[in-house]
Chain A
Amino acid sequence: MKILVCISKSPDTTSKIAFTDNNTKFDENGVQYIVNPYDEWYALVRALEIKETLGGNVTIVTVGLAADEAIIRKALAIGADDAVRIDAEPSDAYYTAMQISNYAKSNAFDLILTGKETINYNGSQVAAMLAESLDLPFVSLATKLDVSGTTLTLEREIVGGLQIEELTIPAVVSCAKGMAEQRIPNMRGIMAARTKPLEIIAPVAIEPLTSFVNYSIPNSKTACKMIDPMNMDELVELLHNEAKVI
Chain B
Amino acid sequence: MSILVYINSNGGIHKSALEVVTYGKKIGENVTVITSGSADSSSLSSLGKYGATKVLVDRSLQNDDAQQLTRLITSAAENMNASTIVFSQDIIAKAVAPRLSVRLSAGLISGAIDIPSPDGNVKVNVFSGKAFGSVHVHSSKKIISVLPNSIQPEITGSDCAVEEYNGNIGAPSIKVIDTKKPEGEIPLPEAELVVSAGRGMKAPENWHLVEALAKELGAATACSRPVADIGWRPHHEHVGQTGVAIRPNLYIAIGISGAIQHLAGVNGSKVIVVINTDAEAPFFKAADYGIVGDAFEVLPRLTEAVKKFHATRH
Which of A's residues lie within 8 Å of B, judged by CB? Answer: 11, 13-14, 17, 19, 37-38, 93-94, 97, 119-129, 131-133, 137-141, 143, 153, 157-167, 177-178, 207-218, 221-222, 224-230, 232-233, 235-240, 243, 245-246
Chain A residues within 8 Å of B293, by CB: 229
B82 at the interface (CB under 8 A from A): no
Report the Cα distance A183→B115, complex, angstroms: 42
Residues of B89-103 whose CB lies within 8 A of A: 90-92, 94-103
Contact status of A162 and B179, CB under 8 A, knowing A157-B91, A217-B131: yes
A119 to chain B, nearest CB (A): 6
Q: Taking the nearest CB of chain A, how far is it from the CB of B116, in angstroms? A: 12
Interface set of B (CB-CB < 8 Å, partner A): 8, 10, 63-64, 66-67, 70, 90-92, 94-103, 105-111, 121, 125-128, 130-139, 173-182, 185, 187, 192-193, 217, 235-236, 238, 241-243, 245, 249-250, 260-261, 264, 267, 270-274, 284-294, 297-298, 301-302, 304-306, 308-309
Main secondary structure on A side of the interface with B: mixed
Point out the residue from A141, A215, A224, A226 that lies within 8 Å of B133, measured CB to CB: A215
Q: Is the CB of A226 within 8 A of B90?
A: no
Is there contact, CB below 8 Å, between A165 and B174?
yes
Tell me the smallest distance from the CB of A29 to a CB of chain B, in Å.
Answer: 15
B287: chain A residues within 8 A (beta carbon): 221, 224
Q: Which residues of the other chain, A, contact B192 by a CB distance below 8 angstroms?
A: 245
Known: A159-B10, A167-B173. A119 touches B128 (CB 8 A): yes
A159 near B102: Cβ-Cβ < 8 Å:
no
A-B contact pairs, 16 of them (CB 8 A): A13-B261, A122-B125, A125-B101, A128-B66, A128-B96, A129-B98, A129-B99, A158-B91, A160-B185, A161-B182, A163-B63, A163-B176, A164-B176, A165-B174, A210-B108, A226-B292
Contact A226 B290, beta carbon cutoff 8 Å: yes
Tell whether, in the assembled complex, residue B109 and residue A210 are in contact, meaning their CB atoms are under 8 Å apart.
Answer: yes
Contact assessment for B102 and A236 in the assembled complex, using a CB-CB cutoff below 8 Å: no
Contacts of B138 in A (CB 8 A): 207-211
